[in-house]
Amino acid sequence: MINNLSNTVKAELYGRISSPLFASFLMSFMVWNFQAILVLFSSLPVFTKIHHLEYEIYTHLFDSIILLVFAPLMSALLFIFVYPIPAKIVYEHTRKEQQKLKKIRVKIEDETPLSEEESRKIKQDMIDMDNKYSEYVATTAKKIEDLERTYKAKEVELISAHDEKISGFKSDSSGFKEKLFAIEGEHKKSIRLLEREKETLIDNHDSAESIHDDEIKALNSKIKIISSKQKETKIKLDTAVDNTSVASSRIFSILAGSHDIPSTVKAAIERQLTTLNNLTTPIPSFSQSLLGGSK
């Protein structure tokens, strides 16, 4: 960025300096202020230079404005706008006179015959030029042949290198294809094995489900049989309990009405009857206990 900025500044300054107005003004300024320039570049002390500039050259403000601005500017404008008019006339006149002189010189040369020495010199110059041209043609042809040989050698080298690269790429691509085919075969083989395992798992699952269903059906049938048997047993047990309760109540009534039996015997009989009543308490069914345990 800094380089671009410096280049831009240089281009702008060069454009300003190379303008006709600036160049003319600078030349006019140097002419009108040559005394100040001599004082500035002299070996006088600094205070002496300032004294000369203030009290001997630029004594008044009006003189300073004329010498520093007005006079150089007017001289530059005159040089730009007025000077080209006489310069054009002089240049046109000079060119016409040069053309006239050229015509006169050609006319004189045509009328004047060549001497024998001049003709020999011209012939020798022509022979030298012909030899130089032939030598140049031979040298150029040799250079062209050398360049063609070098170009052909480089072309052959590049073609061979290119062919080697292509053959290497082909071998690499063939190796990659073989590896790809091998990986694809292994992938397909793995997929087949996975499919077989999947089918085996599905068959095992189906068979396990069927076995489980059969076991559940058999268990349900056993539960039904046990439940029916339990119901029959319960009915019988309830009947026995009822009979036992009736017998117990009769025995209690007999014991209560009898005064001949000792009290110790009565107490023992009552304990046995109480134990028998506790043993005949209703028992939960097997199916209910099984279902409760499964829950």
Cα separation of 4 and 6, whole Å?
6
Which residue is associated with the tokens 């058999």? 218
Q: Which one, of 278, 279, 256, 276, lies nearest residue 266 by Cα?
A: 256
Question: Of 89, 112, 135, which residue is a domain's last?
Answer: 112
Q: Is residue 21 part of a domain?
A: yes
Provide the pLDDT for residue 14. 66
Report residue 213: phi and psi, to 5°. -60, -45
Q: Is residue 34 part of a domain?
A: yes
Q: Is residue 78 within a helix (H) or strand (E), and if so which, with residue range? A: none
Give ∠ CA 111-112-113 in degrees, rounded to 5: 110
pLDDT tens by residue, 226-241: 777 777 777 877 777 6
Provide the pLDDT for residue 89. 92
Provide the pLDDT for residue 169. 66
pLDDT tens by residue, 260-274: 666 676 677 667 667
Q: Which one, of 248, 242, 238, lies nearest residue 275 by Cα?
A: 248
Q: Is residue 192 part of a domain?
A: no
Question: Of 69, 93, 112, which residue is a domain's last?
Answer: 112
Centroid of chain to Cα 34: 67
Low-confidence ranges of the chain (pLDDT < 70): 1-2, 5-6, 9-18, 109-115, 169-170, 172-176, 208, 212, 241, 244, 246, 248, 250-252, 254-263, 265-266, 269-270, 272-273, 275-295
Total of domains in the chain: 2
Q: Is residue 159 part of a domain?
A: no
Provide the pLDDT for residue 291. 43
CA quadruple 92, 94, 95, 101: dihedral, nearest 10:
150
Provide the pLDDT for residue 188. 82
Q: Is residue 272 part of a domain?
A: yes
Question: Of 83, 112, 141, which residue is a domain's last?
Answer: 112
Q: Is residue 13 part of a domain?
A: yes
Q: The domain containing residue 41 runs over which residues?
A: 2-112
pTM: 0.32
Tokens representing 214 are 């059969």
Q: Is residue 153 part of a domain?
A: no
Q: Is residue 80 part of a domain?
A: yes
